Structure formats: C-alpha cells, structure tokens
Structure 1
Amino acid sequence: MGQWRNFFGNELNESRRRLQLERRRLLPTYNADQVVQSLPAKEVTKVALKLKYQVEQVVSCELSASVITDPNSRVITKHVVETAREAGGEEYRACVLYCLLVCLRWFKIQAIAELWDAELHQCRALACEVIAKRIIESEEDQDFLLKDALLKRYSIFRNGEETDPMNVIERAVDLHALRVIGSSGYQRCIRYLWRGWYCQEEENPANFVPYEHKDNVHYWAHFNPDRMRTPLYQNACQIIFSLIYLVLYTAVINTVNPSGDLDAVECILYTMTLAFICDEVSKLWKVGWNYLQFWNAFNCTLYVILALSFILRVVALAHSPHADDHRRRMFNELSYNFLAFAGPMFWMRMMLYLDTFRFFGAMFVVLRVMMKESIIFFALLLVVLIGFFQAFIGMAQVDDDVPITRIIVQGMANSVMQSPDFDAFQDFAFPFGIILYYLFNFVVMIVLLNILIALYNSAYDDISGNADDEYMAIFAQKTMQFVRAPDENVFIPPFNLLEIVFLIAPLEWWLAPKYYAKINEIIMGIIYAPMLCVTAWIEMREARRIHRNRNRGGADDDEPQEWESIAEGIDFDIDDHWKETVDETKPNIQMDNCTLEVLLLKERVHELTRLVRTLTEGKSAEASTTANGSNATGTDAAT
C-alpha cells in the first residue's frame, strides 16, 4: 500500500476542503427554482444506491491504485462496467454517470468519517471514477451522451429533501474528478460548450440545448447579441479589455502630471477600475463568499490600491493649485506612488486569462499546488516569528537605551529572506540577544526553509505527471464559470456600468420582463457590434467546416489531418490483404504471456480430453459389438 501514501494524503486533504458534505458550491450557481428535473429524484437515488452496493462488492478490500486504473484491470472488468451501465435499466440509464459521481462523493465523505478504512473508501471512490470514464468513452450514441447523460440535471434525496439539480459536467468539476474530466466524451462536451454549440435555453437558463444555427452558412444568422454568452467570446472580450486596461495604466504611469490634474487617460483608467469593482461586488453578492478564490482576492487587492490612488488624487485636487501648496504635491506624489506600486499586479493580472492556453495552464496548476503546500510553511513560520519576536521585545524592555523595535522587525525579515543581520544583535542584551538570533536563523534558514523546499519538490512531483489532467480540469471549471454565470444578459466590464446606469437603475424595477429583455438585446447588439461582426464571420466558417465533416461522415468538430486525406482512396481489406496480415501478427495486449500460455495449454488439454473420450467411446462401441456377435453365434449353435 506504499504507493497509496501520496495519493491518499493529497486526496484526503483535497476532499476535506472540497466536500464539507457539499454545503458549499465551488462555482457560480443558478436559481434552482427554474430547473426542470429530468427524472424523479427517488429513482435516481435508488440507482445511486445500486451502484454503491456494486462498487462495495467489486472492491471488497484495499487495492493498489494501478490495479484499479489498469486498462486491463482484473477488478474493473468489461462485465463490471456493463453491469454498472445497466444499473438504471433502459428508463433510467441516462442518470448512471451522475449516480457514479454521487457514489464518488459518498465514498470520499466516508473516507473522512472513517479514517481506519480511509484507503478502502478511496479505492472505491477511484473505482467510481474509472467506471464512469469507461462508460463515457464506450458510449456510441454521442447525442445521448451529450444531451441526456452529461448535460441534463438530476437530483437525489438527502435528509428527506431533494438536492439542487446538477449535471455531470458541473458535478465532476465540483468534485475535481480528474479521470472523468479527462475522458474523451467529457472533453468533447466542454468544447461544445466553449464554442457555444450547446447553449442555455432562453426560457430555462439551467437547461442546455444545441445551437440551432450551428450549421447555417449565412452570415447574418450568426449576428445575434445572445451569442455573447458563448464562453469563447466572453473570454476573448475579457482579454481585449484587460490589454486596453494595461495600455491605459502604462500611459498613465509614464505621463505624470505634476500639477495633479486628472487627464482623459486617467479618467478612463479609473472608470474601468470602477467597472471591475462593480462586477466583483455583483458576483460576490449573487454567489456568496464561496466566490472568493485566489484570483478574485488578487484582483480585489489591485482594485483597492487603485481606489486609494484615486482617493488621494481627489484629496490633492481639493487643495489649492498654487505651486507653494506642499500638501497638494504630497497627496499627488502619494497617489502616484500607490499607482506605481500596483505595476507588477497589472502585469500579473494578465496570467488570469492565459490559463486557457495549454502551456500556461499546466504551469499554473503546478504553481497553484505549490502555493497550497506553502501554507504549512507559513503557518509554522508565523508561530516561530511570534515566539522569537516576543522574546526580543522582552529583552528590549530590559535595555531601555536601545530603539530596538524596528531593528528586530528588519533583522527577522532579513533572516526569512536569507540575508541575516548579525551585527544588529551583537550588542543587544549580550549574550542573550545574539544567541537567540543565531537560534532563530537556524530554525528559519535550516529547518523551515528546507521543509518548504521539500514541500515544493513533493508538490511538483505529484502534479507534474498529472498536469494535463489538471489543466483540463481548470479549463472545464473556467467554461462552467461562464455558462453558470448568474446574469442572463452578458455585460462584460466596463459595459456593466452602462447596464447599471441606463438599464437596471431606471428600468428593471418597473418595466415588464418581456420589454426589458428586448431593450437589453438592443443595447447589447449596439455595444457588441464590432465583436459580433468578427464572431459571425468565424461561425460562418465553422458552419462550412461542419458541412464538409458531415459530407465525409465525420463528427462536427473533426479536424482532418494530412494522413487522413492521403488515406481516403486506400482500403486495406482489398489491397494486399494487409489487414489480415496485421491481425495475424499483432500481439494480444489484453493478456500477458503467462496467461496466454495457460489458455493455450487449457485448449490443448480440452482437445486431448475430447480425443481420449472419442477413443474410449469407440473402444466401448467395438467391445459392445463383439459381445453382441458372440451372443448371436451361441444362440444359433443352440438352435
């Protein structure tokens, strides 16, 4: 069970953070009252219980992870997968994948509650993922897989009440089920959602329907403001506006106004900052505290610094513009200092939008896990810092002649940054001060920093081999953040200020929903017109490619490779019987050599047994014939 150590430790910690009995949701959610359930929650719960019983019987003891995940596993066999597929029968087979993820969550909760059997429950949770992945990848009916199995929402009973309906796409992201997320069918569904080929239904935003004009080759059929709900286009707009935001900041920081007056570029910069602040506050208000994550906290810190810079600029403007007014100059310089202080954060903010690219996304996964692991280091460091700081302050109270507080803070900070200042503590409460400072440096630089390095190495080893799956999980989460957005009308900052000022405040509270939606559509059509011109052209080209793929008999999202076009006129069944030759010489990778030899020996034993039985039956028949002939001769003689 040694190979489970790292896997189980990471999974258990992740489960504690993610599950919490699922009292919180990781992504923006929707109004559950609007969701129309596909199947009765009672029947879905029965299917989940059936699958839980099956997994408990299949994985009845602790196993290594490789035994369960092996493509030719002797535990998760084809018969086990087919049995799980039939758990809901023909009527409820669409909810089997959802129920497997429910069982996955149950086993993770059980692993936390029953630590003595935690590894067994982790094995069963892993088995649920493997079975779900194989069902997804073996499903031939892609329409059924996308519409019914992955995108339809189902509920179960919990504490006598129905849970909020969710689909497999959302559930897998919330549970961080990497093997399910990394399956081919799941990734195809994510691509369809990302491109807008499956979109939210207007009457019921919680339901996903195919985009009806996906194969329409007419340009104006795609010129629709509702297409801005597509995650691909939203992400592109956010990148464009973030680049404009960065250019504005660069222009402002390189053109300082000594007089303190606000120019047009600064006004646009601060207006965009207000738009981003309103967007963050709106999402936090609608989603709750669970919306806060690393990048949200990072962006909020940047916006607070910019808000302080703007406030200081306004305070400077409130003073006299005369050259001898030093307070105006002081507040003006302080405002620019805050603005310059935010420079690194402006550029680091661009990394938020680079995670859709594979190279950056995989690296960000590694960095994120390393930052999580460093929490242990900082927790230990905080305790050590408090203890030694209190000791140094106590010594400073004895020696009243030394202004030591700033020296202590600076010296301890230098030690953490591996640049200790021993001279500052040489004569401080001698010899206690210098001895204590040596001890502090030993604990921080030798013990804690090496612990941090070991944690980073462990985190990198754990995640580097799985970075692609983690990247696909991040991409799926990003996609779901767009399609599960709490707003039906997409106003990307800074356009959300137009929505607040000209739509929400004066119209939403009294205008009929039908007319309010129409006005929103008109406004979105105007402000997104340049973007829609480009997106309509892109979708027209995609429609032509879809027609070509369908003419070839391929899927809509196929991208023909060069060898496919070359091989169109070649049929290996006819040409040189190459297919039969390959079939005769290809190895059987589903079984090892020992198993193959045993099967061959078994076949030969059966053949030998059959031959012996035939010979025995022949001799018996011959003996019987001879006996009958002797009896007949004796009878004739007697007569």
Structure 2
Amino acid sequence: MADNEQDHEHTPLLQDQDNNDNEQHNHHDQTSHRNVVENIRNLIENEIPNGHHLNSSSTPKRVHALLPRLFTLINSLVDCSNVEDEVVTDEVVEYLCSLGQEVVYGLLRCIESMVAEGQRDVGRKRLLDRRAEITQVAAAAVTKAFVDKDRMGTYCHVLSRPYYAVGEERNTAENAIEIAIRVHATDFIADIEVQRCVQALWTGLILQVEEDESRIRFVEYGGLRRSRRGLLDWFDIGRLNVPKYQNNMKIALFIFFLAMYTFVVNNQSPNPNIIEWLMYVFVCGYIFEEFRLIFEGGTAFFLGSIWHWVNIISYSMFMVSFSFRFTASYILTDKSKIVQYNDIAYDLQALLAVFLWVKTLSLLDGNQYFGTMVMVLQKMLKDGIMFFWLLAWVFIGFLQSFFALQKAETKDFNAAFSLLVRGFLQDPDWELAEVLDNKYGFWVFALYLFLTSIILLNLLIALFNSSYTNITDSSEKEYLALFTFKVFSYLKSPDQFPYAAPFNLIEVFFVIPFTPILSKENYKSLNRVVMGILFWIPVLTIAYGEQKRYEELTGTNDDDDIQGGRRRYRHLTLDDISVEDLFMIEDVDENAAAVSGETAIQIANGEEGAVVDASFTGWKSNGPVNETFADFQRRRVKENEARAKAAAAAARAEEASSSSDEDERADAAAAAAAVASSTSAGPAMSEALVQTLLASIARMEERQKEMETLLKQLNVPTAED
C-alpha cells in the first residue's frame, strides 16, 4: 500500500513539480515522462475546464512546414468543383486545430495562392475558386474551435499576430485578417468571431503594441478592469491609439479643414491671410501622413483604397496652387503677372471642391448603407477604368483614320479629335465628318457611333449593373470587408503616440529630434506631456464616453433596464452579445475567480494604458510532427478505442473502491491497468491511462480513510469493527 501511495504522489496528474524531479533521471526517462504528461493532457483536456498549456512560439520554419500539409489536405478534400461545404467535418477541424496556432494564417495563405493560380490558369479557375471557398469555411470553423478553447488567445495570437515563412523578409509578415482583406475573402471576414476580433481592435479592447526590432504583438487592454471612480481616473493618453478614436478625430479635423477651405476659396484676397496659411499647414500635415502610411503600410496596401488616390490628386493640386500663390505674393513684381498667377491659384482651388466634397463620403462609410454605396462606387469606377481603357484603343484607331483621310494641305488634328469626342457624348456633327472626307467620312463616323454608342456604352451599363447586383446581393459581407480594411488602415501604422494631422508636424519638427538624446522612458514621458497639452479635450471626451459605457455595462440596478414602462432585455445568447459586453462578462468572471491573485492586484493598480498579455491555449497534437490527415484519422480511431476501454477500466476501479478488501481493490486496479495496456493507442497512452487510474484509486482510498476517521470520532461502528 505504501508503494502505491508513493506512486500516486509522483503521478504527473497530481504534481507538476515532478518535471523538476525527473531532471535527475536519464534522457530516456525524461522523454518518456514528457510523453506521458502530453498524452494525459490530451486525454483529459475536455474534462478539465480552462486548462492552459502554452504552445511553443511560432517560427518561420513551422509556417513553412505547415503550408504543404494544408495544400495536400485541401486538394484531397476538394477534388471537383461541386463539393459541398459539409466536407469540412468535425474531424477535419480537429486535425487542423492540432496543427497549431499558425493554421488559420496558413489557410489564408493557401487561399491567396489559389486565387493567384486561378487568374493564371483559366481552365482550372472554377475548381480553384471552389477550393478557396472551402478553405474559407475551414478557416472560420477552426477559428470558432480555437475561440471555444481560448477567446483572447485566439484574437491576439491566431487572427491578429503577423507570421511569415522561411525565406521571406520579416517586414512582409502579415496576419490572417490582412491576407483575407487582400484576397477579398468575404466569407471568412464576415464570420462572427473574426468580426468580434475586428470590433475589439476598433474599440480598443485589443491594442497593438510595437516591440523591439519593429515586432508587432496584440494585447488585451486592461483598463476596463481597473477600479475607477472619477472622470479623471479614466483620462488615458494611450486611448488615442484606438482606431475608433483616431477616426473620430480625423473626421472632426477634416470638417474644420473643409470649413477653412470654403472660406478661403469664396473670399479671394491679394495676399494670403491667416486662415489661408492655416489651411496650407493642414495640407502639409496631411501630406506627411500620406507618406507615413506609404512607408509603414506599404505601397500596395496604400493604393488599395480609392480615397488615397483622391488624396494624391487633391494634395498635388493644393501644392501647385500654393506655388502659384506664393510666387505671386512674394516673388513677382509685375502686377499683371501677379493677377494672372493668383487667378491660376484660385482656379485650382476651385476645382479642388469636387475632390474634397467627394471625399466626405469616406467619413460616412461607418454607416452600413453609405458604406455599401461606397463599395458600389469603387467597383463601378474600376469597371469604368477598364471600359475607358478599351474605348481609348477604339478612339485612337478612328482618330488616326480621320486624320489620315484629310488632305495634306487641310489636315486638322483638333477637328478630328472634336468630332469623335462630341460623337461619343451624343452630339454628332455629320457635316464636319463629311468636311473632313466627303467620300468615307460619313460611313467611318457612322461605324464609330455604332461601336461606341450602341455596343460599348451598353457594355458599360451591363458592367455597372453587374457590379451593383453582385455587391448588393452580399451587401453585409462587402460592408464588413470595407470596415475591416478601414480598421487595419489605422493598424498598419503602429505608432505608440499618434499625432493627428496637422499636429504631426509638431511631432516631426519638435519631438522626433529628441529621439537620439532621450532614453526610451523619457521619450515616452515627453510624448505624453505634449499629447496631453494638444489633445486634452479629445482625451477628456473619450474618458467621459468610456466611463458612461462602463457604467452601462456593469450597472446592477434593474430599474435602468426599464424604458418607456417596458423592461429592456439586452441579450438572449452569447452569439447575440456584443464584443464589449462579452469582454466585460469575461473581465467580471476573471476578477471573481482571481480577486485576491497577483493578476487582479496588478489590474486594480494598473497604470495608464494598462494591458494584459494574452497567451494562446489551443490544441496540441500528440501525434508525429509531419502527421498527415490519413494518419490522424487512424490515430484518432485508436484513441477512441483506448478511451472506451479506459472508461470500462475506470468503471471496474470504481466498483472495486466500494469494497473493503484491499486485495480485491488491488486486483481491480491491476485489471484496469491491464485493460488500459491492451489498447492499441501506443505505450505512451497506455502508461498515461495507468497513471490516471492509479491516481483516481488513490484519491478514493484517501476519501474512504477520512470517512472512517470521521465515523470513529462520532462513535459509529465501521465495517472493520
């Protein structure tokens, strides 16, 4: 019996410190013990709630080794274009989860490759598109499975963490959502858990921080869990990093800039006044912001938005206008030249109204209706560009034809150009066509009108109608894709201290020069002081809003839920709950569970911008590193058989524990161990089952001894008496 107790004390299920004791054994024993621990955890992970075990940190080698396995799996599952979504079974999801936290990123990389290959190989495009769709379904299912295990770890390490493979540059690292945006994987983006992650990033419940060597990681914002009473307790400069608040500041400053522009362009003056100079300062700040986005986010991501193209045109016109205005006011002395240059400057500024007022649509894309219309506008503009590219070749051909038909002594390029333009705009000039050439001019012009007005224009209308139909049919997914792109457009520039334009000029000329002089902590303090002075009104507004929202989420007065004489029931299921409510519920649960723990104390005493680092606690596979899906299926069958036999053995052990005969209990334990050892799941799994059963028997014996001791104290006769 003593030997059994000694064995029970050293089971890995009861004491984790046995890992330290085993360091004294040889290498074989250490490896065996690690396998036992690993198998036990895999065996009981569904029975122990909130069990955390850290995955090893991701490396480019792991990503590189993962991608071929994913391609093999997808190709085997989708061998034709009419495969249904049900091919992504629970077994497939379980296998994918066992591959580690990089699997969602790997699946999105597979989609990227399939889309690119489909564009090159038209014959296989339908099959590749279907594989991409199934891969999106698999990625969403794996995300859901990971969230069920560890929500915060999934958001911070699976969806948001940047990865890259061997041979790729570190600055090309992307996370799964960024790839989904680039390949327009709307089914994955619209998944509820992905959108909860995006909403958490948008509202600042998850923060992006930059580590050394420009590495990016995502952490949970712990400010909601801090004990705050007054408004000043919520005053946090770090909240200016949140995309939602950056967007609100951007809107407010642009409206102010638009008001200044309207005043300047409608009140012309010989020399620039203070408002005009302030307008040019805003323009310089916006230009610096565009260059920063290009430098930090990359050219491809920058040019992926139509509004950045609008910015390029409008800011270029502003600078040309400023050049003429400055030259007329401070360089030229000839009055006629001064008037001429001022007229050019104001003409350019007047033309800018078209671009600036169109840009106001970008301020409304937070609304689903306007956001969907913006998506339709973008798609139509792309179709229009392709149409006019086709029209240009037709136009050039007919222009050369009319120019060549003219007599050498009367050739007029402008007349031919005007004829074709007016014809396309439904104002044909038949007389001019005959003047240019009385023989063929009429017929060539008629053919031109037939091609452009009847064929090409109807083609353009059909393209526009198709674009509108495709987007409105999936308007919700398209809007969510646009919104996600907007969120990550702010996250592409991981500046710990974001200065909104034009205040970024203060950062460039008065703060950044102190970088080589000050230490990291002193530089942070300098930024906090400067930003506190510049943005104290916005930060105070943010603090007030977050305080009210916190009070609303944590309110305990049921009378607050009664509005208009009727009670307001907020949510029915966890699937309906908002991400802010969800985080608040989890925060309350964590505080209740660890109110006296070190984590709770750190949160309660949290400083400005307090964050809580999240670690991923997903599945870990106990199979070989290069295990294929077929091997996984065979191993899973064996493990299921092992679990069934282990359940039978546990039942026999439980039955034996009710007996008072120690020999009978020992025989039952030996039989249980023999049943477990007879499984075909492998020696490591058998040893794990034996250890588990022995530990269970030990706990039963201890409970029985405690009961007998208690009965003796109460003078109740026991079976031995």
TM bracket, shorter-chain basis: 0.7 to 0.9
Residue 467 (structure 1) aligns with: 475
**Quick check: 2:112–2:179 contact (8 Å CA) kept in 1?**
no
CA distance in 1, matches of 2:423, 2:191: 48
Q: Verify: 1:415 aligned to 2:429, yes or no.
A: no
Q: Verify: 1:250 aligned to 2:262, yes or no.
A: yes
Tell me the number of residue pairs that the alignment of Structure 1 and Structure 2 aligns. 504
CA distance in 2, matches of 1:122, 1:129: 11
**Quick check: 2:156–2:217 contact (8 Å CA) kept in 1?**
no
Residue 277 (structure 2) aligns with: 267
The one of 543, 547, 557 aligned to 1:540 = 547
* Greater shift in the superposed pair: 191-200 or 517-526: 517-526
> Which letter does structure 1 place at the counterpart of 2:239?
R
The one of 441, 445, 456 aligned to 2:449 = 441
Q: Verify: 1:130 aligned to 2:155, yes or no.
A: no
CA distance in 2, matches of 1:567, 1:304: 53
Secondary structure of the residue aligned to 1:207 is strand
> Which letter does structure 1 place at the counterpart of 2:569?
E
Tell me the alpha carbon deviations over residues 472-521 of structure 1, each in whole angstroms, 9 at most, x when there is no partner.
Answer: 011111111112215332111111111122123x4234443432232122
Residue 292 (structure 1) aligns with: 303
The one of 569, 572, 575 aligned to 1:564 = 569
> Which letter does structure 2 place at the counterpart of 1:256?
Q
Tell me the alpha carbon deviations over residues 77-112 of structure 1, each in whole angstroms, 9 at most, x when there is no partner.
Answer: xxx2332333353xx543332232233233334434
Secondary structure of the residue aligned to 1:199 is strand
Tell me the alpha carbon deviations over residues 106-160 of structure 1, each in whole angstroms, 9 at most, x when there is no partner.
Answer: 333443454433322222211111122233345424234323332334443458x
> Which letter does structure 2 place at the counterpart of 1:478?
K
Secondary structure of the residue aligned to 2:207 is strand
Q: 1:545 to 1:181 in 2, by over 3 A?
A: same
Secondary structure of the residue aligned to 1:488 is coil
Residue 519 (structure 2) aligns with: 512
Q: Verify: 1:232 aligned to 2:281, yes or no.
A: no
Q: Verify: 1:40 aligned to 2:52, yes or no.
A: no
What does 1:201-216 align with in structure 2 at a 5 Å threshold? 201=209, 203=211, 206-216=216-226
CA distance in 2, matches of 1:562, 1:397: 87
Tell me the alpha carbon deviations over residues 603-639 of structure 1, each in whole angstroms, 9 at most, x when there is no partner.
Answer: xxxxxxxxxxxxxxxxxxxxxxxxxxxxxxxxxxxxx
**Quick check: 2:206–2:220 contact (8 Å CA) kept in 1?**
yes
CA distance in 1, matches of 2:346, 2:543: 43
Q: 1:522 to 1:42 in 2, by over 3 A?
A: same
* Offset of residue 347 of structure 1: 0.5
What does 1:328-367 align with in structure 2 at a 5 Å threshold? 328-367=338-377
CA distance in 2, matches of 1:423, 1:510: 76
CA distance in 2, matches of 1:465, 1:459: 10
> Which letter does structure 1 place at the counterpart of 2:125?
A
**Quick check: 1:415–1:421 contact (8 Å CA) kept in 2?**
yes
The one of 526, 529, 534 aligned to 1:527 = 534
> Which letter does structure 1 place at the counterpart of 2:252?
I
Residue 455 (structure 1) aligns with: 463
Q: Verify: 1:405 aligned to 2:410, yes or no.
A: no
CA distance in 2, matches of 1:337, 1:86: 65
* Offset of residue 40 of structure 1: 3.4
> Which letter does structure 1 place at the counterpart of 2:343?
E
Q: Verify: 1:326 aligned to 2:340, yes or no.
A: no
Secondary structure of the residue aligned to 1:427 is helix
**Quick check: 1:111–1:118 contact (8 Å CA) kept in 2?**
yes
- Flag the structure with more relative contact order, 1 or 2, with Cα contacts below 8 A and sequence separation at least 6: 2
* Offset of residue 405 of structure 1: 2.8
Q: 1:282 to 1:131 in 2, by over 3 A?
A: closer
Gaps of 5+ in 1: 1-35, 553-560, 569-639
What does 1:8-407 align with in structure 2 at a 5 Å threshold? 38-63=57-82, 67-68=84-85, 73=86, 75-76=87-88, 80-89=89-98, 92-112=99-119, 114-137=121-144, 139-141=147-149, 142-157=151-166, 164-201=172-209, 203=211, 206-216=216-226, 217-218=228-229, 219-257=231-269, 260-290=270-300, 291-293=302-304, 294-318=306-330, 325-396=335-406, 398-400=408-410, 404-407=412-415
Q: 1:424 to 1:511 in 2, by over 3 A?
A: farther
Secondary structure of the residue aligned to 1:104 is helix
CA distance in 2, matches of 1:220, 1:203: 29
**Quick check: 1:38–1:153 contact (8 Å CA) kept in 2?**
no
* Offset of residue 344 of structure 1: 1.2
TM-score (norm 2): 0.65
Tell me the alpha carbon deviations over residues 399-438 of structure 1, each in whole angstroms, 9 at most, x when there is no partner.
Answer: 42x6x33332222222222222333333222133333222
**Quick check: 1:215–1:547 contact (8 Å CA) kept in 2?**
no
CA distance in 2, matches of 1:341, 1:566: 51
Q: 1:112 to 1:310 in 2, by over 3 A?
A: closer
* Offset of residue 212 of structure 1: 1.1
**Quick check: 2:143–2:154 contact (8 Å CA) kept in 1?**
yes
Q: 1:122 to 1:292 in 2, by over 3 A?
A: closer
Q: 1:434 to 1:511 in 2, by over 3 A?
A: farther
Secondary structure of the residue aligned to 2:436 is coil
**Quick check: 2:102–2:158 contact (8 Å CA) kept in 1?**
yes
**Quick check: 1:88–1:95 contact (8 Å CA) kept in 2?**
no
Tell me the alpha carbon deviations over residues 339-386 of structure 1, each in whole angstroms, 9 at most, x when there is no partner.
Answer: 111111110111122212211111111121122222331121110111
Tell me the alpha carbon deviations over residues 239-297 of structure 1, each in whole angstroms, 9 at most, x when there is no partner.
Answer: 1111011101111122122xx11111111111211211222233334444322343222
Q: 1:346 to 1:207 in 2, by over 3 A?
A: same
CA distance in 1, matches of 2:314, 2:267: 20
Q: 1:304 to 1:367 in 2, by over 3 A?
A: same
Q: 1:453 to 1:114 in 2, by over 3 A?
A: closer
CA distance in 1, matches of 2:116, 2:533: 50
**Quick check: 1:85–1:96 contact (8 Å CA) kept in 2?**
no
